[in-house]
Structure 1
Amino acid sequence: MPTKLSYPSFNFDELEETLSRILRGELGVADGEERKKLIDYYLTAQQDRLACERIVDVLEDSGYARSQPAASSIAKYMVGWALANLKTTLTQLYMRRPGPNRLSYHNHRFPEISVAQIEQKIAQFGHLLNRFQTIKVIQHSRYLFKINT
């Protein structure tokens, strides 16, 4: 998709010239009917509601607005808890072995982020969309955050 939506450059000189023309304002967004069709096909709801709003609609239509799903039995909860902790322990052990699951790779894939950084990103989106003023972020664990109003 990036190749079909952008200006082609086959060597460094062409790339440098294209970028210079863009920065000077001589060259705008790559357009054309084929590009518009491609964007329209892959990017839905460009003028409509956000995906997160449509997801909430589906959840509310499924009854989540009226009541929460029934709680699992204590036995099912304990089995889930035990399996989750076993998987966590195994993952931590595997991360210490050499290879693709090493700790540095995990830390690269899941860099730590603070509540303040998340709030900053939400504020940026909120400024652009004129919304999200009541969003609150609570850190649940190292990589898990609860975001609500």
Structure 2
Amino acid sequence: MSSTVVNDTNLSVSDTNRKSFSIENKGEGKIEILAASDEEASETPVVYLDKEESPIILRVKISEVNPNKISYFYIDGELIEKIKVEDDVQTFELTELEESLKLGNHLVQLVQYKSNDEQSEILIFKQAEYEVKSTSAENRDF
């Protein structure tokens, strides 16, 4: 397996505390966003906004990552969780994460760092996309 060293110059943090990753998938491991229902599968799972439905949950299937390292989960570069995980399905409540519920496409990113902190080398970087659509004619305003 070949590896590429990614130093801090490949990462930038914007004024809104979002990370911008200029890296493709790296290292072992996989993430997959699971559809909310057993309906027809697509390459980009859809999260439907319904003002009557709460909470809004995103299910992410994780496999083949190092269970001894902390996994950092980001949505569109915003850190939402840091936990140790094994092959499993993680659920994230999106209701309070307003940016993650704007209509359109979003990226979930899983990162494991060499020293378990965001300033060290990236060992694993995986990302998957989901789309937010409205179930009504109205758009959800944030």
Higher helix share: 1
Higher strand share: 2
Q: Shorter chain as normaliser: what TM range?
A: under 0.3
Structure 1 length normalisation: TM-score?
Answer: 0.22
